[in-house]
């Protein structure tokens, strides 16, 4: 992994040469890392590269935890301004995992315990925001992980269609949205959270579909969410 971190994408032969580990052992190690979701194999070039998961682990003790603390403070201020609950979530093994939330403080929340819950990468506003802002390489990895870890019942072609629609809507509207994407009667808008190089996660605002539509919510709340 250190070799791939330094050189970028590389074949088994290149990794073996760079690490002075024999090719048979290198092939077996890379195969195990690929199975566990830590490296990605480009079937065309046969090159291995580090996945977003390992980058999150590498950066986790600095970026993710630090950003979660900052976002928690921002979510508190956001709740004061909009009243509706919000979540901050990151990608993990083909889905979104909520790291911070104001559900327990919002008068409009029907779910108090949200931290640790998962959300779909392809149906939730949180997931769509991340997918729309991610690089093409990361998007491919998200799709592969979702299929590998059975986080979706969709086929790869169906997922790619959903991804293209999500990207198009994000580029047109300037935000991601969902209607009944995470529960009946629940809608949301979301924006990605990024550092200098990567998409870290996303923040949403959740509201009842019977009260607001995403366009209305964006008109009222997007400046506070930005």
**Digits of tens for pLDDT over the chain (226 positions)?**
777 766 778 899 999 988 889 989 999 999 898 888 888 887 777 888 877 666 666 555 455 666 777 888 899 899 999 999 999 999 988 999 998 999 988 989 877 788 889 999 999 999 999 999 999 999 999 999 999 999 999 999 999 999 999 999 999 999 999 999 888 999 999 999 988 888 989 999 999 999 999 999 999 999 999 8
Q: Which domain, by its residues, includes 25?
A: 2-50
Contact 71, 90 (CB under 8 A): no
57 lies in the same domain as 112: yes
In the prediction, which pLDDT does 201 show?
94
Q: Do residue 118 and residue 190 come from a single domain?
A: yes
Residue among 181, 114, 121 at smallest CA distance from 149: 121
Q: What is the pLDDT of residue 67?
A: 75
Q: What angle do CA 73, 76, 82 make, to 5 degrees?
A: 140
Q: Which of 185, 178, 192, 103 is nearest to 142 (CA)?
A: 192
3-class secondary-structure state, position 29: helix
Classify residue 103 by its DSSP letter: T
DSSP assignment, residue 10?
B
| Cα of 16 vs its chain's centroid, Å | 32
DSSP lists the bridge partners of residue 31 as: none
Q: Are residues 151 and 220 in the same domain?
A: yes
Do 125 and 119 contact (CB within 8 A), yes or no? Answer: no
Residues 19, 93 share a domain? no
Q: What is the pTM of this model?
A: 0.73
Domain boundary among 50, 70, 87: 50
Residue entry with tokens 């004061």? 80
User: Does 169 lie in the same domain as 81?
Assistant: yes
Give the pLDDT confidence score for residue 102 in this predicted structure. Answer: 92
Report the C-alpha gap between 202 and 204 in whole angstroms. Answer: 7
How wide is the angle at C-alpha 14 spanned by C-alphas 11 and 18, nearest 5°?
A: 140
């Amino acid at each position: 992994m250190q070799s791939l971190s330094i050189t970028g994408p590389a074949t088994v032969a290149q990794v073996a040469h760079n690490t002075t580990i024999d090719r048979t052992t290198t092939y077996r190690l890379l195969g195990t890392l690929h199975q566990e979701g830590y490296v990605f194999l480009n079937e065309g070039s046969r090159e291995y590269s580090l996945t977003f998961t390992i980058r999150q682990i590498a950066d986790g003790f600095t970026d993710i935890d630090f950003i979660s603390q900052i976002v928690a403070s921002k979510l508190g201020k956001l709740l004061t301004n909009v009243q509706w609950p919000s979540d901050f979530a990151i990608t993990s093994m083909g889905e979104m995992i909520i790291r911070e939330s104001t559900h327990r403080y919002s008068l409009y929340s029907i779910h108090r315990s949200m931290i640790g819950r998962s959300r779909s990468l392809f149906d939730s506003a949180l997931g769509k925001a991340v997918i729309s802002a991610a690089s093409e390489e990361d998007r491919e990895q998200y799709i592969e992980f979702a299929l590998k870890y059975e986080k979706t019942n969709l086929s790869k072609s169906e997922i790619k269609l959903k991804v293209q629609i999500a990207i198009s809507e994000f580029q047109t509207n300037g935000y991601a949205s969902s209607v009944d994407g995470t529960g009946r009667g629940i809608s949301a808008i979301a924006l990605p959270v990024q550092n200098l190089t990567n998409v870290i996660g996303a923040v949403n605002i959740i509201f009842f579909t019977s009260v607001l539509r995403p366009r209305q919510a964006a008109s009222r709340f997007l400046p506070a969410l930005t």
